[in-house]
Amino acid sequence: MCELLGMSANVPTDICFSFSGLMQRGGGTGPHRDGWGIAFYDGKGVRAFHDPKPSIDSEIAHLIKEHPIKSLVVISHIRQANVGSVCLENTHPFIRELWGYSWSFAHNGQLDPRLYDELTLRFYRPVGTTDSEFAFCWLLGEIRDAFPERPDDMTPVIDLIHERCERLRGYGVFNMLLSESSLLITYCTSKLSWLTRRTPFGQARLMDEDMIVDFCHETTDSDIVTVIATEPLTHDEPWTPIKTGQLTVFKGGIDAEYRYSAQQE
Q: Which residues are catalytic?
A: 2
Long-range interactions of 138-146: CB distance < 8 A, separation 24+: 138/164, 139/105, 139/164, 139/165, 139/168, 139/178, 140/96, 140/98, 140/103, 140/105, 143/98, 144/98
16 Cβ neighbours under 8 A, 6+ residues apart: 64, 65, 66, 67, 68
Of 174, 168, 227, which is closest to residue 9 (Cα–Cα)? 227
Instruction: Report how far residue 126's alpha carbon sits from residue 17's, in angstroms, rounded to the nearest whole number.
Output: 32
213 Cβ neighbours under 8 A, 6+ residues apart: 17, 203, 204
With left for phi above 0 and alpha for psi between -120 and 50, is residue 236 left, alpha or beta? Answer: left
What does 132-144 look like in DSSP terms, one character per residue? HHHHHHHHHHHHH
**Cβ neighbour number for residue 95 with a 10 Å cutoff:** 17
Instruction: Report how far residue 173's alpha carbon sits from residue 13's, in angstroms, rounded to the nearest whole number.
Output: 30
